[in-house]
Structure 1
Amino acid sequence: MDSPVEIPFKSFIQLKPEESTAIYLQLVFEFIKAIQTGFLPEGTKLPGTRILCKVLSVNRNTLIKAFQDLESQGWIETLPNKGTFILSQQKQKNKAEFTVSKEQNIPPDNIGFNFQRSTILESPIETSNLPYQFNDGMPDLRLVQTDVLARLYVSKLKRRKTSKTYEQIELRSHSNFKTHFSNYLNLTRGVRISTSNLLTASSHEIALYLVTKVLITPGDKVVVASPGYYMSNMTLTNTGAQIISIPVNEDGIDTKRLKEICETTKIRVLYLTSNYHYPTTISLSAKKRIEVLELANQYGFVILEDDYDFEFHYDNNPVLPLAAFDSNQKVVYIGSFGKSLPSGFSYGFVAAPAEFIKELEKHQNILEPRIDVIKEQVLTEWITEGEVHRLSKKNKKIYKERRDHFVSILNDKLKGKIKFKIPPRGLAIWVEWLDHFNLVQFQKECSKQGLFLPKTILYQTKNLTATRLGFGNLEKEEMEKAVSILGECLAIITQ
């Protein structure tokens, strides 16, 4: 296994000796944040304290004290003669009744060849068989209209054969799909693009991977918001970029801090979820939108705008992305389409200058060399016949009702225990707990009562105890029971 020292600790463990907070506590909070944001996935082996204290420029006794605190809170475990590891949920499955979704066991040492292993890309995603579950804001698969899609898909498969070659059909089908899809994005998101400005991919994750592959080289400085999205942070870190985090305020990222960084450091990319910040659900204010675009033009960095949840907005005048107002071609806009459709029918896409799209296509031809003609024909028909708009309108009504009911339950059952703002879009609510308690202990107590809280929705620092509670996958009765369990478990651990 690659040496854990190769992990770029100093890019995400940022200590400030000038502050009054003890260094060992800063270490505790920084390591917790790194675990929650995916920089240190579960199962990661940490370097020995002698090595790590040199890397972080701290006293060894200070580091040992921080590790003792982290271990007592359940974030790490030290195994005799083996080392210190980010706590593996696999070893707690009999207690918590949940397991990691993919096996992450280290292969045996006696295999016949060596290969590179990534400590960055270990999946932090967990699954559970518990009856009640929160996630970070996923749609309800029970609402998917599989029968309608199935009929349309089968009808396309049965269409009369033509004399054209598969390559001719593929090219024409893809061109037709891109034309209708770019028109759809222009209409719904105001981005004003043509087909030459659009790349479609099989998923949002593939779209993000392709962009970072072409846009970022090792050593580039990339600014991200903190707290941020663990999956995108993993993808960005895997490029070899140096990650610089900036705080999020009540109206979005701290643009004053962004400018200060730009004045002293050459920034390559600002990664931004402007319309619905992950995880806090905050939307970037109009004033800060202008400031970010001006700073990008002034200092020459690229804005990588990730609009992962545009489809779930609950007003008639949704906030348009920065890409809709980008007159200087500084924004690379990525997003998702069809998140309410069955698995395999959703898409990721990139809207950007034509020359950049051409370069992305070169790399996509390796990852995704063939086009799913039938899938694109089905979605083209759904778009042209207005079925996508109809389904979107229907789903938004259902999810708005769920959001409002969830808000009502939170206010009823957790009044005086939490604070939150009602998000105008998305399928999750950012809940800050007024009491400061150990979220890992809270998670374990909820598990005993039949409620699953994945670690990816738990956020804890010195001044913050928060959870991102997804409501989209829950019906009303499920919401009531889940929130009741939250209240009961909170009473147990804070008594």
Structure 2
Amino acid sequence: MEYFHVRFFRKITPSLVGLNHPKLNIMTVQTLPFSNLIEIDRRSATPVFRQIANGLMNLIRSGKLRPGYQLPASREMAGMMKLNRTTIVAAYEELRIQGWTEVVGKKGMFVSKQLPVINPKTFKAAALDGSVSSEKPDFYRQVSFTRPPFQELKPYQLIINDGYPDQRIAPLNSIFNRYKALLSRAYLHGMLMTGNSAGSLALRTELAAFLSKTRALSIGSENVLVTHGAQLAIFTAASMVLKPGSRVIVGDLNYVLADKLFEQLGATLIKVKVDQHGMDVDEVERICNDSRPDLLYIIPHHHHPTTVTLSAERRMKLLDLIRRYKLPVIEDDYDYDFHYENSPILPLASADHQGYVLYIGSISKTLAPTIRLGYLIGSEDFIWQASKLKQLVEIRGDVLFEESVAQLFSTGEMQRHIRRSVKLYRQRRDQFCDLLAASIGDMAHFTVPQGGMAVWTTFDMEYSIPELSKRLAVKGIYMNDGSLYRYNNDVNGIRLGFASLTDEEVLKFTKALKEVK
């Protein structure tokens, strides 16, 4: 519904004629200076009669036109507004249809005593006497997060993120242009209504070919499930495996949203040490010897948050454990393509794992965080079942968008973008680490990452990351306070993303960090 802007003037005392007023017992017609109170814009696309109706609605809302009072006759109102009487009749009819006014016999049009105004209701629980209760309803499950105090968001000149790509260099225009072109093709309209919940066939086919070539995965389109981001892929895979009471092996330092997700599904976390060579596989073996867990979640490349890579020796032993104990595994390989020193080791999913490894990747990490696309790789039957589970939450994805991204792969533009990005991000990593060491080398420690988009930086215990974050905020720079990674008293670290920062932005950040330390 459109509302017309109303000017507010001093209240005019109405003349009294007509209708029986409940208190005065006389007839009351409000003859306000309507031509001054209701502004008409003849250049507007809104018809004049509707502008009149909207203006009168606003006068009723503001109390200037009161319930039970009579409006001027249509001929009189037309004279006051210098409009055709037909326009006023149409406006009055619009008010009547919407319930703002009512016709009383042959007396005329009156403001309704039961106005169609929706009064907002509180979501707070009501006590028996109708007052707001201090008790909270507890019919829903709680998510295992600590609720922070409300903070009003403020604009920042510079944001240091967790490790995201630079969307300024991504081929987003190619996606949008392809999307517009596909939108005009009539034969695709049926696909919009009947698309497979596993995702666009074109994108699944291109992903299968790309992953087979770059990661040695022996898969076809039937092994690929496309999701809105890798997080949804983790959720889908975990939901297929876990139930309340399940046990999941995770790193002692781990991707926190995965941990929270497993706990929300009712699982218990078994934490295993992660060192400079990745997860301690010997400890995984000891756990399996005692009682095989229901799932292992591992990030073998550029572990989150520490950025370390699972060594080749540990990888081989872990594959043996997977086969021996029939251990289901979620392998989160969110930024495999971004390796700078040498060729990355192949994923666990590329080896003989007898179908127990579920492989997850992200297109968002390749293009831009706003491009919410990820994928889950598994056996044909698992993916079919997972697509039916996904369908319960999301009937189908954006088919045209997925088709548009598929074209990036089919034309080779995605592959060229990855090669350019790897070269650029390596340069940015080197500059970032050099300047970071120069600015805070006396108070923090880090290892130059072999890949990925962030540097895991641990500060000496006497330095407070939350305090540094506050001081940087005063300078217009956002850096998170490290609370996501503060699992125990031994951790005083933070991920500092470098891939999305230009040389000038890196210099600005490291200079400011040096000033506030």
Query: TM (normalized to structure 1)?
Result: 0.71
**Distance in 2 separating the partners of 1:199 and 1:431:** 35
1:224 is displaced (CA, Å) by 0.5
Describe how 1:289-308 pairs up with structure 2 within 5 A: 289-308=315-334
Which shifted more, 383-392 or 256-265?
A: 256-265
What letter corresponds to residue 156 of structure 2 in structure 1?
L
What letter corresponds to residue 199 of structure 1 in structure 2?
L
Q: Does 1:224 align with 2:247?
A: no
Deviations 1:186-245 (A, max 9, x none): 112221112222111122111111111111011111011011111111111111001111
Cα contact 2:164–2:368 (8 A) shared by 1: no
Counterpart selection for 1:118 from 119, 124, 142:
142
Counterpart selection for 2:506 from 467, 475, 479:
479
Describe how 1:93-492 pairs up with structure 2 within 5 A: 108-110=124-126, 115-120=139-144, 128-159=154-185, 161-162=186-187, 165-166=190-191, 170=195, 174-315=200-341, 317-341=343-367, 345-434=371-460, 436-456=462-482, 459-460=485-486, 461-490=488-517
Which consecutive residues of structure 2, in runs of 5 or more, have no partner in the other structure? 1-121, 127-131
**Distance in 1 separating the partners of 2:275 and 2:164:** 25
Describe how 1:47-62 pairs up with structure 2 within 5 A: none
1:154 is displaced (CA, Å) by 1.5
**Distance in 2 separating the partners of 1:374 and 1:207:** 20
What percent identity do the matched residue pairs reach?
28
Structure 1 residues 468, 457: closer, same or farther in 2, change over 3 A? farther
Secondary structure at 1:369's aligned position in 2?
Answer: coil
Secondary structure at 1:237's aligned position in 2?
Answer: helix
**Distance in 2 separating the partners of 1:288 and 1:185:** 23
What letter corresponds to residue 278 of structure 2 in structure 1?
G
Query: TM (normalized to structure 2)?
Result: 0.68
Structure 1 residues 163, 475: closer, same or farther in 2, change over 3 A? closer
Secondary structure at 2:200's aligned position in 1?
Answer: helix
Secondary structure at 1:350's aligned position in 2?
Answer: strand
Quote the RMSD (CA, aligned, Å): 2.9
**Distance in 1 separating the partners of 2:188 and 2:294:** 49
Secondary structure at 1:244's aligned position in 2?
Answer: strand
The number of aligned residues is 384
Cα contact 1:313–1:424 (8 A) shared by 2: yes
Cα contact 2:256–2:484 (8 A) shared by 1: no
**Distance in 2 separating the partners of 1:145 and 1:215:** 36
Secondary structure at 1:468's aligned position in 2?
Answer: strand
Secondary structure at 2:345's aligned position in 1?
Answer: coil
Cα contact 1:304–1:332 (8 A) shared by 2: yes
Which shifted more, 168-177 or 346-355?
A: 168-177
Cα contact 1:339–1:346 (8 A) shared by 2: no
**Distance in 2 separating the partners of 1:366 and 1:253:** 34
Structure 1 residues 442, 177: closer, same or farther in 2, change over 3 A? closer
1:254 is displaced (CA, Å) by 1.4
Cα contact 1:311–1:337 (8 A) shared by 2: no
Larger RCO (CA within 8 A; separation ≥ 6): 1
What letter corresponds to residue 404 of structure 2 in structure 1?
V
**Distance in 1 separating the partners of 2:270 and 2:123:** 33
1:123 is displaced (CA, Å) by 7.9
Structure 1 residues 284, 428: closer, same or farther in 2, change over 3 A? same
Which consecutive residues of structure 1, in runs of 5 or more, have no partner in the other structure? 1-105, 491-495
1:137 is displaced (CA, Å) by 0.6
Which shifted more, 389-398 or 227-236?
A: 389-398
State the partner residue of 2:93. Answer: none
Secondary structure at 1:224's aligned position in 2?
Answer: strand
**Distance in 1 separating the partners of 2:188 and 2:273:** 59
1:484 is displaced (CA, Å) by 2.2
Structure 1 residues 398, 457: closer, same or farther in 2, change over 3 A? farther
